Homo-oligomer: A and B are copies of this chain.
């Protein structure tokens, strides 16, 4: 899977495959994307596809990596802060909501499902999130801004999963507000 450097023909094809995937995802769920269609979209035969990627999942993984980066940046605004900061929380949730709106059909199976093919992405993103959220809660408690309660990592886990599940199905301002209130009440009682 290692080809030469530079903007060679192969690089363009590889890109075309990923772009095709992105487009297909606008109208078709990930499970129904086939190697056939990806190859056709990129203008090559099905068997040629395997010159570029090991499988359909590999293509989606590439796409997910791009999204994961955005998600992490989105979260940082609140995760790195301190104290009950309603504005920062809602802003971070808003960016998250936008990502779900744009990439929902891929993110849903990847983050909510349990398909083996997304296991890598899922554990990286979800666990990363949970770890940072737990740290945030820990700081608040240590400095007396939040009361004690369930273990910080369990609580973080519950809230992160809640957030994913809610935004996955509804990205409205109302949904964001609900998430924000639950998070705030759960942490600051």
Contact = CB atoms under 8 A, between A and B. Distances in A.
A174 B151 CA distance: 8
A26 B151 CA distance: 31
Interface residues of A, number: 33
A55 interface: no
A105 to B, nearest CB: 9
Given A114-B113, A165-B165, A155 B182 contact: yes
A175 B158 CA distance: 9
Interface in A66-118: 108-109, 112-116
A1 interface: no
Contact of A150 (B149, B155, B170, B181): B181
A13 interface: no
A155 B186 CA distance: 13
A12 interface: no
Interface string A145-170: 00001110011011101101110001
